[in-house]
Amino acid sequence: MNTNSKAFLDMIAVSEGTASLGDNGYNVLVGGGLFQGYQTHPRTRVYCPKFKLYSTAAGRYQLLARYWDAYRKSLGLKDFSPASQDKIALQQIKEQKALADVEAGRFELAVGKVCNIWASLPGAGYRQHENSLATLKLAYLKAGGTLASV
């Protein structure tokens, strides 16, 4: 994983609100609770009153249980460890054809390509709080990311 990829993942964790919680966000349930152990996705259904729905989002990148099942199988993952969570997030970025943009520091272009995955990113359109591009760019730069020269 290159420096920009790591910084981009750190930025996603800041955007999702998990970075400062628990084990650097890796053991966070939706809503801010924590889970114990990384043997598998916790599959904890948490009621989110603001949206009047239940969610199984968990981990640093708030992955739903149903997506864990698919990625566990396709990536051959043995657990829901931080390394596994990072692999899934990078795979999701790759599937959106944004990995080359991330690695090259084309920050705004990359965010635009992956905003459908993380509801907190600007342009996601899930009627949830979206962070501003400026705020997220600062988080990315603070994490050591670099921007491509235009």
Name the residues annotated as catalytic: 16
Alpha helix segments (H runs only) across the chain: 3-16, 65-75, 82-95, 99-104, 107-114, 133-142
SS3 16: helix
| Structural contact between residues 68 and 75, judged by C-beta atoms closer than 8 angstroms | no
Q: Residue 15 is which amino acid?
A: S
Q: What are the angstrom distances between the C-alpha of 137 and each of 26, 61, 140?
A: 22, 17, 5
